[in-house]
Chains A and B, each alone.
Chain A
């Protein structure tokens, strides 16, 4: 049996990842957050986030999934679909 991670666990992990990637302490991720809300969130940071998410949740995000991401909520949904705890 495998357990899917809870939304809360996903957001906690994502908050951790985003704070490391953007070298901040004060980010609290909400589903609606997107690249335009965060200074410095460019294509390189995007790749850093994706690679970190893949490592953290032990999943592989494919090209279509990455291209369809519009906001943090989309990312959390993909993780919830693919990740196991």
Chain B
């Protein structure tokens, strides 16, 4: 985990942590974000386990997770790394492990300890020797194919049983190949080679997982990168049946935590780039366009091209790029505009901050301008002073440790797993363009003298559709990752959404906003349910922060009121459930004309709108019912 900084004096910090009174969660999060080997990972976990044995920590701001590990060999050494991986991402994970060799029985028996644990996430960690048992080199091709099919069916049965019994994501570990080849280079010509068997099974896991909605933990890819010996030690297998070496525990746990965080919509979203000696060699303000090193022809210049290419590829699949540099703005922009060897252009950058303010201030401004949380930013900077300064000021920003050699940067960024992503949608592909259009809108607003004129000039059209199969993937994605403009932050699975679609006493609305700058995509999701005859409760109201301040909220309420009336409602109830991130919508319903009926001490509130006396608010938005 070379992207994390070296820990501070370890034993002293650990002693402080364990002797500290009260809540130690955020101090522990900070400590977990250092380069910890498995011994230190265990030690940190031990303290956390003692402290939070009976009650979850109070202020994580994220959903706690109950993870059941269903394994066919020893995984006791992986619990602590998984929990610390969660801690690193501010997620409290409680783990459970099935009794040795009993994973299938426990899964199928509703009276088992597994069911009593009530997991909300499942990790299948089936080892290769278990799945390949009975396969031997003398088997016919047909029998080998049969054995492969049996293994597939076993895995499928596990997934389906888990999905049926428990509500929540299923993670399947892909297989390490611990079997030495019998033929050699052309191992694939031996039909019942166990090594080949594992390769084929790994391949089919991909298609099966996509079809079944299961996420993979790709140990095979990791071992391909690091070498099998790094992940698996046959001597340890014989000694203790540990398929994954303890030394790899911390990265294993981090990989599991990434998947869990991604399911919660808590992967990082934006890569903030320094310029001098990060995107090119040299200092643009001193060396000028001719002096900076980027492009073919020199090893260093090609290294910087590779960094830019990796950033550009990330942007193409939905990661937002921003620039944060200490430079005069014109100097900083010049290479993006005119240098022939630059891969990144201004059009790739959603937010460009080059000035002489300190970097924490600029990074705050980037988060504000893009309307995303500071904890969704990764900051790439070659300068250790700047990295440490930003870490001090903004501990929630991820800042990888990089050397002055650009050649190592792309793989390091990938290994750190900041941008772990589980699906790709068309909107991901167009994200940077959308943020850029948004800035053009901002500039129009600063230019326009009055808000009304600005809004009229936008030519907004709001397309309202009920939930449907085409939008399903995007609807589920938005429900599970929107944190700020989200009244209840209630997460729903794909099957929950399908239930809502089928329920005649509920409605689900997906709203798309178009304007003269382009298509903003799906920007709002609303779910209403009949709570009692005549009363509809708004279970979910979430919106993209990109469209705030444009009357979209009022236009949306008009649509929600109409949908509720069509279910025969006279009263509309709006609920607000506070989280660490959704303070911006605390007064949402009141500002739309609801009257407050109750407010709990913890901030939860319920507001009510009389539909019989409600008349739609006029806006400059044209409504298109789709």
Residues of A within 8 A of B (CB): 17, 19-21, 23, 25, 43-44, 47-48, 51-52, 55, 62-63, 66
Contacts and interface: CB of A to CB of B under 8 A. Distances in A.
> What 7 A-B pairs have minimum CB-CB distances, sorted nearest first?
A20-B39, A23-B43, A63-B235, A51-B246, A51-B247, A21-B39, A52-B39
B245 A51 contact: yes
Majority-rule SS of B interface residues: helix
Interface string B56-76: 000000000000000000001
B43 to A, nearest CB: 5
Contact of B247 (A17, A21, A43, A55): A55
B278 interface: no
Contacts of B441: none
Max count, chain A CB within 10 A of own CB: residue among B15, B236, B238: B236
A56 to B, nearest CB: 10
A48 B11 contact: no
A26 B60 CA distance: 34
A63 B238 contact: yes
A68 B15 CA distance: 35
B110 to A, nearest CB: 32
28 contacts: A17-B39, A20-B10, A20-B11, A20-B39, A20-B43, A23-B43, A23-B46, A25-B11, A43-B240, A44-B76, A44-B77, A44-B240, A47-B77, A47-B236, A47-B239, A47-B240, A47-B242, A48-B38, A48-B246, A51-B38, A51-B245, A52-B37, A52-B39, A55-B37, A55-B247, A63-B238, A63-B239, A66-B239
A19 B11 CA distance: 9
Given A51-B246, A51-B247, A23 B76 contact: no
B506 interface: no
B42 interface: yes
Interface in B15-43: 15, 37-40, 42-43
Given A25-B11, A63-B235, A47 B246 contact: yes
Interface string B246-283: 11000000000000000000000000000000000000
B545 interface: no
A40 B77 CA distance: 15
A19 B487 CA distance: 49
Contacts of B235: 62-63
Interface in B610-626: none
Contacts of B10: 20
A21 B46 CA distance: 11
A63 B245 CA distance: 15
B14 interface: yes
B45 to A, nearest CB: 11
A17 B246 CA distance: 15
B40 to A, nearest CB: 7
A43 B76 CA distance: 12
Interface of B: 10-11, 14-15, 37-40, 42-43, 46, 76-77, 235-236, 238-240, 242, 245-247
Contacts of B236: 47
Nearest to A24: B11
Given A20-B10, A23-B43, A44-B240, 12 more contacts: A17-B39, A20-B11, A21-B39, A43-B240, A44-B76, A51-B38, A51-B245, A51-B247, A52-B37, A52-B39, A63-B239, A66-B239
B48 to A, nearest CB: 13
A23 B50 CA distance: 14
A18 to B, nearest CB: 10
A44 B38 CA distance: 12
Contacts of A66: 239
A34 B11 CA distance: 24
Contacts of B238: 63
Nearest to A19: B11
Contacts of A63: 235, 238-239
Max count, chain A CB within 10 A of own CB: residue among B76, B242, B247: B247
A19 B239 CA distance: 24
Contacts of B38: 48, 51
Nearest to A16: B11
B42 A48 contact: yes
A20 B14 CA distance: 11
Contacts of A52: 37, 39
Contacts of B40: 20
Max count, chain B CB within 10 A of own CB: residue among A17, A19, A55: A55
B239 to A, nearest CB: 7
B41 to A, nearest CB: 11
A12 to B, nearest CB: 15
Given A44-B76, A51-B38, A51-B247, A23 B240 contact: no
Nearest to A23: B43
A43 B246 CA distance: 13
Nearest to B245: A51
A62 B239 CA distance: 11
Nearest to A66: B239
B277 to A, nearest CB: 33
Contacts of A55: 37, 247
Nearest to A17: B39
Contacts of A47: 77, 236, 239-240, 242, 246
A55 B38 CA distance: 11
A43 B247 CA distance: 16
Contact of A48 (B15, B39, B46, B239): B39
Contacts of B39: 17, 20-21, 48, 52
Nearest to B47: A23
A19 B39 CA distance: 10
Contacts of A43: 240
A43 B77 CA distance: 11
A63 B240 CA distance: 12
A81 B240 CA distance: 26
B351 to A, nearest CB: 43
Contacts of A25: 11, 15
B582 to A, nearest CB: 39
Nearest to A63: B235
Contacts of B15: 25
